[in-house]
Structure 1
Amino acid sequence: MITVVGVGPGESHFLTLEAQAIIAAAEVLVAGARHLDTFATSQHNTRRLDADLAGLLAWLRQSMAQRHIVVLASGDPLLYGIGKWLAAHFSPAELRIIPGISAIQYLCAQIPLDMNDIYLTSSHGRTPDFDWLLQHDKVAMVTDAIIGPRAIADAILQRGLTRRLIIGENLSLPTERIYRLRPEAVAQCYDINAVVILNER
């Protein structure tokens, strides 16, 4: 069995109690460097999660019967996380997913902004259809280094639209910053972030 644990937006105190117990009991932690630095102890064997997903898949299939493997995922594993990819390759009998607090949930709670009618998306490894997205009054996007706040702002300005961007940077960490900006005021670069786009009519 492989267990995928959502570790929340960043700080370890946002882990659920179930997530804490599973991480503590794990034999092997599979995660990116940042999460291994945060959660791995001397009792854990580790495997770094990187772009070699084919290699990871082969290793998981070979190792899962003998070892208690826990894969750590940012936020919630099934909200534009590795949970979807793992669920496509392993059966429900082989895979257990522990939800976590997503960066979008955390950002909306900090604002505060209800999520009842928000459209959720991600720019990780994809080019968003901004013509379609910007028809919505409330959009939340998990961003990447290629399409982040500045690219979103440019798309809004190119279409002559009026929107406000709420940018959550380094959410839940000591360096957290939350910005409420018009597109023309958005900077070129931000650290790890999620963005809410609001049509404030």
Structure 2
Amino acid sequence: MPSASGSGPALVTVVGIGADGWRGLSGAGRAALRSAQVLLGGPRQLALVPAPQRPPVTVAWPSPLLAHLPRLLDRYRGQHVVVLASGDPMHFGIGGTLVRLLGADRVRAVPHPSAVSLACARLGWPIEEVDVISAVGRPVQLIHPWIQPERRLLVLSAGTHTPGEVARLLTARGFGPSTCMVLEQLGGERERLHTATAQDWAETELDPLNVVAVHCRAEQDTAPLPRVPGLPDDAYQHDGQLTKREVRAITLARLGPLPGQLLWDVGAGSGSIAIEWARTHPQCRAIAVEKHPRRAQRIAVNAAALGVPGVQVVTGTAPGALAGLDPPDAVFVGGGVTADGLVDLVWAALRPGGRLVVNAVTVESEAVLAGWHARFGGELTRITISRAAPVGGFTGWRPMMPVTQWVVHRR
């Protein structure tokens, strides 16, 4: 988003407003509206303010908002603009966007109790024990990593369709017994609550302004999928090109996912490394690069099914396919290490402090790693895993292919 620093309004006050409208505003919120020269907001929020209380200039948001916002703000240069937002504007709201655009010194937030606060108050749920996921402008699949036995979730709805989508997703994951509660028009005169289990959820007429509360309960034979690396291999669709769970857990530990950082997963196969990197924290970003189109499509399917649909999939052959990508904080090379120039390129692309992890299973790729280890140092490790399997009427150990792993940090 382009910066409007140095232009636009002298001050933007973002006032949170609830379904109770004008009467529910704090004194600070009312004072901001009375002093405003320009009022911006969505049609629903604007309708909550009585006409006598609106400033002379009142403008409904254009669509698409983000594309038009810098130009719209610049139109009211030097004036005091008030923006209406639902609930707490700094919680999945317009407040954060305005701060990024104008700077924190030119944005003042006057929050109203958020939908999260109101829902927890109605349900008797301590906020610190609740996981909050927004489905507003985001895929509902984002709730997958948060679906764990006995966890409590609040899903901020995108409209009337969200509760049904949540219920179907829970049921498909084996969490059909979960209790789903839809809270409509929180804080308003038309506040209402609907309750059913996910598996028994029936489509009903709902208000678009709703929050979905979920108390997760699993069916008896449902295996949870934790957020720590090393998911079961059968959690993925794959054609055999999959970093096995034991090696995957070791690899992710060496990559060291950190919030806000970007991973390149080169030769991604089924996408397991990129996906489990992204699952560790909502702000972890990943790009999976895969030359086979069918595998690339499978990566996208796996990412959505495991709750990280934001994993970017690039179909192409490295190193050429890496051109123009954002610089990474970590790189994993699981395939194609012998390609000319690949290791040189990813090493040059790494940010300072970045980590490079390369796994090799062939003699030729091991030779490449040995050469790079001699030049740049780091650590070489041989990983050998054996799994128990039937041998006639007994049980024996079946070794997997050994993996040579090179790990190096860029200073």
Tell whether 2:216 aligns with 1:199: yes
TM-score, L = length of structure 2:
0.46
Contact 2:22 2:50 in 1 (8 A): no
Partner of 1:133: 146
Moved more, 67-76 or 44-53: 44-53
Tell whether 2:166 aligns with 1:156: no
Contact 1:2 1:64 in 2 (8 A): no
Larger relative contact order (CA 8 Å, sep ≥ 6): 1
Identity across matched positions, percent:
26
Runs of 4+ aligned structure 1 residues displaced above 6 Å come to none
Partner of 1:176: 191
Residue 90 of structure 1: which of 96, 102, 124 is its match? 102
- The offset of 1:82, in angstroms, is 0.9
Contact 2:148 2:216 in 1 (8 A): no
Question: Residue by residue, what CA displacement relative to the aligned partner does 1:90-137 show, whole Å, maximum 9, x if unpaired?
Answer: 111221111221112111112222112211110011113333021270
Residue 206 of structure 2: which of 178, 190, 195 is its match? 190
Question: Superposition RMSD on alpha carbons, in Å?
Answer: 2.0
SS of the counterpart of 2:195?
A: strand
- The offset of 1:24, in angstroms, is 1.9
Cα distance in 1, alignment partners of residues 129 and 167 from structure 2? 22
SS of the counterpart of 2:88?
A: coil
Q: 1:44-63 maps to which residues of 2 (within 5 A)?
A: 44=55, 45-53=57-65, 54-63=67-76
Partner of 1:167: 182
Cα distance in 2, alignment partners of residues 13 and 180 from structure 1? 29
- The offset of 1:36, in angstroms, is 1.4
Residue 108 of structure 1: which of 115, 120, 129 is its match? 120
Cα distance in 1, alignment partners of residues 100 and 215 from structure 2? 33
Aligned CA distance change for structure 1 residues 12 and 116 (closer, same or farther; 3 Å): same
Query: How many residue pairs align between the two structures?
Result: 200
Larger Rg: 2
Cα distance in 2, alignment partners of residues 182 and 71 from structure 1? 38
Give the letter for the 1:52 counterpart: P
- The offset of 1:146, in angstroms, is 7.3
- The offset of 1:194, in angstroms, is 0.6
TM-score, L = length of structure 1:
0.90
- The offset of 1:21, in angstroms, is 1.3
SS of the counterpart of 2:159?
A: coil
Runs of at least 5 residues in structure 1 that lack an aligned partner in the other structure: none
Runs of at least 5 residues in structure 2 that lack an aligned partner in the other structure: 1-10, 219-411
Question: Residue by residue, what CA displacement relative to the aligned partner does 1:61-98 show, whole Å, maximum 9, x if unpaired?
Answer: 23141x21100000110111111211111111221111
Cα distance in 2, alignment partners of residues 185 and 173 from structure 1? 28
Give the letter for the 1:138 counterpart: R
SS of the counterpart of 1:79?
A: coil
Give the letter for the 2:22 counterpart: S
Tell whether 2:152 aligns with 1:143: no
Residue 68 of structure 1: which of 68, 80, 87 is its match? 80
